[in-house]
Structure 1
Amino acid sequence: MKNTNLLHNPTAGDNDFSEKELVKLIEAEGFKCDYSSVKDEGWDDFKTETDFLIIAGGDGTVRRVAKALMERKRLDKQYPLALLPHGTANNIATALQITGEAKEIAKSWHNEHLQPFDIGKIYGLGDDRFFLEGFGYGVFPRLMKVMSKMEAEIGDTVEQKLKAALAVLYDIVLNYEAKECKIVADGVEHSGRYLMVEVMNIRSIGPNLFLAPDADPGDGELEIVTIPETQRKKFEAFILSQINGEDEKYKFPTIKAKSVELAWEGKDLHIDDERIKLEEPAGVTIEVQPKMLHFVITKSNLQ
């Protein structure tokens, strides 16, 4: 019997499952399950005998667990991560093709395969910072700023929240003033005026915006997605297609790189789901750090 530690965010998403229901579901599949709420002190005091950690939460909870693991000493035990997607966007689970009912996901852990997952390490902002999903400038941090002021108005369900975010993003893109950004990717310059510059590790960010459909979070490279001023209309059409639930495919200029230097003339940026306001524009360097995490998936997820 494998030992697991369930790390649960009880406030994530639509709150589909209680603590007791989640533990019962996992133990019904033959796993021993210890429970921890990520809202409680000591949740990250993992036992040595634990075989893997189970995260029931959204992308923010995954990031919080990843940070705890990366702060451990190299000689400490490192734990694989299994996901029960339980948030609003669940971009990380989507990138790993982990979808479906919680019971079926738990059943799949018997046929586990460990998928390596890179991170983006950020230099130049003072603190020790990293991202799992993406780092960027432009319309997306503006969206985060607006949405933070509308929390009481955007509905209760996951679908309502995602639709509201897309509608706000569309309005922002209509009026956003493009800004100059210096981009040097693996030594090659790609500077220009952009509505958005996103350095991505996975396919989607925010309200399930699939900006980098070919991104592989375990390939040792990052995807730099740029929306130049000249593609404003195309970006507007892309967002409208998302709002209307259409399956039309869009591709935007993308650069693959292991290292990227960025200098944006504005002061707003984001790291995953955290918006940051700088006092002055600052240049940053981002380097991929391969295989820092490993997620439990089934082999069929790779196809």
Structure 2
Amino acid sequence: MKNTNLLHNPTAGDNDFSEKELVKLIEAEGFKCEYSSVKEEGWDEFKTETDFLIIAGGDGTVRRVAKALMKRKRLDKQYPVALLPHGTANNIATALQITGEAKEIAKTWHNEHLQPFDIGKIYGLGDDRFFLEGFGYGIFPRLMKVMGKMEEEIGDSVEEKLKAALAVLYDIVLNYEAKECKIKADGVEHSGKYLMVEVMNIRSIGPNLVLAPSADPGDGELEVVLIPETQRAKFEAFILSQINGGDEKFKFTTIRAKNIELLWEGKDLHIDDERIKLEGPTEISIEIQPKMMHFLITEPELQ
């Protein structure tokens, strides 16, 4: 019988699972389950006998667990991670094709199929920084700023939050002033004036916005999505389609690279779901660090 450690964020998403319900669901599948709330002290003191970790929460909770795992020494035990997504956007789970009812997801853990997951290591911001989803300038940091001020006005359900975010994003795209960004990707320059520069490890960011449909978080490369001023109208149409429930696909300029150098003339950026305000333009470099995490997923032939 496998030993698991459930890491639960009780405030994530629509709060659709209680501690007891989650433990009961996992144990019904034949796993031993130790419960930890990520809101309480000591949740990251993982036991050696644990076979894999289970995260019940959204993208922010996955990042929090990843941060704890990154601090561990290479000689320490490395833990595979299973996901029970119940956050707002769940972009990481979607990238791993982990969807459906929790009971059905738990059944797939018996297959023990591991998906490697890269991280983007960031240099130039002082602290030891990394991202799982994406790093970027322009429109998305502005979206985070506006949404932070509207938190009490946007409803409680996941659907209401995502729809509100898309509506705000549309307004921002209409008025955002493009900025100069110096870019080198694997030594090749792509500098210009952009509405948005996103270095992505997965397909989507923010309110489930798919900007890099071919991104693979385990392929050892990052995707740099560039939206210049000349593509404003195209981006507006793309977001409007999302708001109206359309399935139109748009291809934006995308560069695949392992090492990226950036200098944005503005002061705002984001790392995953964290918005950061700099004192001024800062030179930043990013490198891919392959296979830093491993997630339990359904075997490809069963998907």
TM range (shorter): over 0.9
Q: How big is the shift at 1:112?
A: 2.2
Structure 2 match to 1:136: 136
1:52-75 deviation per Cα after TM superposition (whole angstroms, max 9, x unaligned): 000000000000000000101111
Does structure 2 retain, via aligned residues, the 8 Å contact 1:97–1:301?
Answer: no
The CA deviation string for residues 77-128 of structure 1, in whole angstroms up to 9 with x for no partner, is 0100000001000000000000000000001111120000000000001110
Provide TM-score, normalisation by structure 2. Answer: 0.99
Mapped contact 1:118–1:132 kept (Cα < 8 A): yes
1:222 is aligned to 222
List gaps (5 residues or longer) in structure 2.
Answer: none
Q: Distance in 1 between matches of 2:132 and 2:147?
A: 21
RMSD: 0.8
Q: Identify the residue that residue 271 of structure 1 maps to in structure 2.
A: 271
Identical positions, percent? 88
| Code of the aligned partner of 2:176 | Y
SS of match in other structure, 1:239 = helix
> Number of aligned pairs?
303
Q: Which runs of 5+ in 1 are unaligned?
A: none
Instruction: Using structure 1 for the length normalisation, give the TM-score.
Output: 0.99
Aligned-pair CA distance for 1:301: 7.2
Kept in 2, the 8 Å contact 1:98–1:301? The answer is no
Runs of 4+ aligned residues of structure 1 deviating over 6 Å after TM superposition are none
Classify 1:14/1:301 alpha carbon distance in 2 versus 1 (closer, same or farther; 3 Å): farther
* Residues 183-239 of structure 1 deviation map (CA, whole Å, 9 limit, x = unaligned): 000000000000000000000000001000000000000000000000000000000
- Secondary structure of 1:46 counterpart: coil
Per the alignment, residue 91 of structure 2 pairs with 91
Q: Within 1, Cα distance between the matches of 2:32 and 2:283?
A: 47
Specify the alignment match of 2:167 in structure 1.
Answer: 167
Answer whether contact 1:108 1:297 (CA < 8 A) is retained: yes
Equivalent positions of 1:40-55 (< 5 A) are 40-55=40-55
Deviation per CA, 1:151-189: give whole Å up to 9, x if none. Answer: 000011000000000000000000000000000000000
For residues 66-81 of structure 1, the aligned pairs below 5 Å read: 66-81=66-81
Match of 1:280 in 2: 280
SS in 2 for 1:127: coil
- The equivalent residue for 1:202 is 202
In the other structure, the counterpart of 1:107 is 107
For 1:83 and 1:241, locate their aligned partners in 2 and report how far apart those are by CA, in whole Å: 30
Secondary structure at 1:15's aligned position in 2?
coil
- Quick one: structure 1 residues 64 and 302, their matched pair in 2 at CA, closer, same or farther if it must change by over 3 Å? farther
1:178 matched to 2:178: yes
Report if the CA contact (8 A) 1:96-1:301 is conserved: no
